[in-house]
Amino acid sequence: MSVASRTARVGMVAACLLGATGGRSADPPPGVDAWTGPLAMELRLASTTRMPLLGRQRSVTTSLMLVTVERSGGGWTQRHRVCDVRVQGSSSTVRVLVPPAFVHALPAREYPAVLREGGDGVGYTADLGVEAIGYDPALSGGKLPERIDAPGVRDTDGDGRPGATIRLRVPVAGTADLYIVQRSHLVLGGREVRPGRIEGAVRILAQEQRTLGAEPGFFARNPSTAPDPARSGFTLVRAPGVRDCEGLRKTAFELFNGGRPPASPTPRG
């Protein structure tokens, strides 16, 4: 076979390969290193609460978080900062509001993460550890305080009230401020469903809340609350253009829903 014939045949094979890939060589899967750098997470925690006079309420608390993952020794270190917390419930009349001061007071957190390459995409696990809000577990003996004057209670949001303040809007009564303490321990586990997007479930090892006081005082009650892991979950996405909380809040809908309304509105918290 002449040099010209061999060249022509090679050219034909190359043309067929390029045609099969739309004129571009296929890129290999990005692997675990694609998940280093700036990321964003939507964390959804569902629960069912029985409240005095208000009955049974189902809700989902949704947190938006700036996330970074970096190699650390032989593993990975994850850091996150909460930028927004919203609560959407099953009742159209009862609303729980999380003030900006509550969110701003939440400290940045750091913990180990696990990324694994597999035939069906990158697997992801992160143990967020125990989070204490409104109190210092080192002073409370690790227990959730039950009274305003209990050891360890702190004014974490700086509003002059014990614990952290959330607001409850109810018919007739208007708005009530609740002074609460919270303790949670969550473990995230999921898998890459497409390049740049991991989805998964939340294992709820602990989720407790206690109301230490309220204004009006009638609302200083502790409803029965049960976590709902089946309705909970998270989405982790690459977010190279998002640098701060303002940017995340502006682009969250596009990042997590692709600019399209979800099939059923996700309760936001």
CATH classification at residue 113: 2.40.128.120
Q: Is residue 36 located within the same domain as residue 22? A: no
**Element at 100 (helix H, strand E):** helix 100-104
In a domain, 81, yes or no: yes
Q: Is residue 12 located within the same domain as residue 37? A: no
Q: Is residue 67 located within the same domain as residue 17? A: no
Q: Is residue 1 located within the same domain as residue 80? A: no
Q: Is residue 5 located within the same domain as residue 97? A: no
In a domain, 268, yes or no: no
Q: Is residue 41 located within the same domain as residue 22? A: no
In a domain, 266, yes or no: no
Q: Is residue 185 located within the same domain as residue 99? A: yes
Q: Is residue 19 located within the same domain as residue 101? A: no
144 token code pair: 């959730």
Q: Is residue 18 located within the same domain as residue 106? A: no
Q: For residue 52, what pLDDT is reported?
A: 66
Q: Is residue 1 located within the same domain as residue 57? A: no
In a domain, 154, yes or no: yes
Per the structure, the complete domain to which residue 23 belongs is given by 1-27
Q: Is residue 140 located within the same domain as residue 163? A: yes
Residue 98 to residue 85: CA distance in whole angstroms: 6
Number of domains in the chain: 2
Alpha carbon separation from 50 to 26, 45, 88, 225, 231 (Å, rounded): 54, 17, 15, 7, 17
Alpha carbon separation from 176 to 1, 70, 93, 168 (Å, rounded): 89, 42, 14, 5
Q: Is residue 58 located within the same domain as residue 134? A: yes
In a domain, 185, yes or no: yes
Residue 184 to residue 148: CA distance in whole angstroms: 20
Of 102, 103, 108, 206, nearest to 163 by C-alpha is 102
In a domain, 269, yes or no: no
Q: Per residue of the chain (269 residues), what is the pLDDT tens digit?
A: 544 444 444 343 333 333 333 333 334 346 898 999 899 999 999 999 887 666 778 899 999 999 999 998 889 999 999 999 999 986 777 889 999 999 999 999 999 999 999 888 899 999 999 999 999 999 999 999 999 999 999 999 999 999 999 999 987 778 999 999 999 999 999 999 999 999 999 999 999 999 999 999 988 988 888 999 999 999 999 999 999 999 999 999 999 987 544 433 333 44
In a domain, 130, yes or no: yes
In a domain, 194, yes or no: yes
Predicted structure pTM score:
0.82
